[in-house]
């Protein structure tokens, strides 16, 4: 289900970019203020306001779990379909500063939200996998330590003494093959654990960065809403061509 949702969101983003790119081949100056163009603008703007429901559900009502995921799905799809309708409404008439800025902000908000959300989810998923792998590795390392202690006790080797530490650093110097094998295994597991710890720390920093990115996306969204409200005021002030005089 989640994979299908991701494919649909990706398809909508591609469709949005294709509709926007058509301004290179098609311009209809009269369409934005026509009845159909205005209807698309109203529908698109309304859909672009729906993502506020997700913010309210998460921040105000503190919703979690399946209910919040439902609002997130609505947030994503409405936040993609709305801009598509708005881009169609423009008729690719990008000849005034407000229209150009509003279109640019719409594309930036959509792309920053889509890419940021994808990267954050991918990073969080990888981080969870590495933490699970680290726990499994810690179990193996503890088993290896127990095994080393048992082998050392059976052979009378110095498993926990200073010579034992030197043996851990130089397992090839240990004559007993059982202890040498156990030391090599413990050293390899410790090395793998150190690599995993470094990877976990890196992904934690990346996760923090992507969360900061999403906060930046929220700021851009707020600016987009203000610009959209200003655009609506201008259109209302100058009037709509399809309304009677």
Whole-number average pLDDT of the chain: 82
Q: Is the pLDDT of residue 245 over 50?
A: no
User: What average pLDDT score do residues 126-152 get?
Assistant: 84
Residues 102 and 231: beta-carbon distance below 8 Å: yes
224: its two tokens: 């987009």
Which string of DSSP letters, residue by residue, matches 58-83? IIIS---THHHHHHHHHHHHHHHHHH
pLDDT for res 3: 61
- pTM score: 0.74
User: What average pLDDT score do residues 12-41 get?
Assistant: 87
Q: 156-196, pLDDT tens digit by residue?
A: 554 444 344 444 445 544 555 666 666 777 778 888 888 99
C-alpha closest to that of 113 among 33, 51, 185, 25: 51
Helix 66-90 vs helix 97-155: crossing angle, to nearest 10: 150
How many CA atoms, within 13 angstroms, populate the side-chain half-sphere of residue 119? 18
Q: Is the pLDDT of residue 55 over 50?
A: yes
DSSP 171: G
- Percent of residues, the chain, with pLDDT higher than 90: 36
Residues 151 and 157: beta-carbon distance below 8 Å: yes
């Amino acid at each position: 289900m989640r994979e299908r949702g991701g494919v649909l969101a990706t398809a909508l983003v591609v469709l949005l970019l294709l509709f926007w790119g058509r301004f290179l081949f098609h311009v209809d100056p009269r369409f934005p203020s026509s009845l159909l163009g205005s209807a698309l603008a109203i529908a698109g703007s309304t859909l672009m306001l729906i993502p506020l429901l997700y913010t309210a559900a998460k921040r105000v009502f503190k919703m979690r779990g399946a209910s919040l995921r439902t609002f997130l799905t609505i947030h994503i799809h409405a936040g993609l379909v709305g801009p598509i309708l708005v881009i169609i409404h423009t008729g690719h008439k990008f000849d005034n500063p407000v229209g150009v800025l509003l279109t640019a902000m719409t594309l930036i908000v959509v792309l920053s939200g889509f890419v940021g959300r994808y990267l954050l989810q991918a990073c969080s998923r990888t981080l969870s996998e590495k933490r699970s792998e680290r726990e499994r590795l810690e179990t193996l390392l503890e088993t290896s330590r127990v095994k080393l202690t048992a082998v050392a006790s059976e052979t009378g080797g110095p498993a926990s003494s200073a010579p034992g530490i030197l043996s851990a650093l130089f397992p090839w110097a240990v004559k007993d093959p059982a202890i040498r094998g156990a030391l090599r295994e413990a050293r390899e597991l410790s090395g793998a654990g150190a690599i995993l710890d470094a990877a976990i720390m890196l992904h934690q920093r990346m996760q923090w960065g992507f969360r900061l990115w999403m906060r930046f996306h929220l700021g851009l969204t707020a600016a987009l809403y203000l610009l959209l409200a200003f655009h609506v005021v201008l259109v209302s002030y100058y009037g709509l061509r399809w309304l009677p005089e």
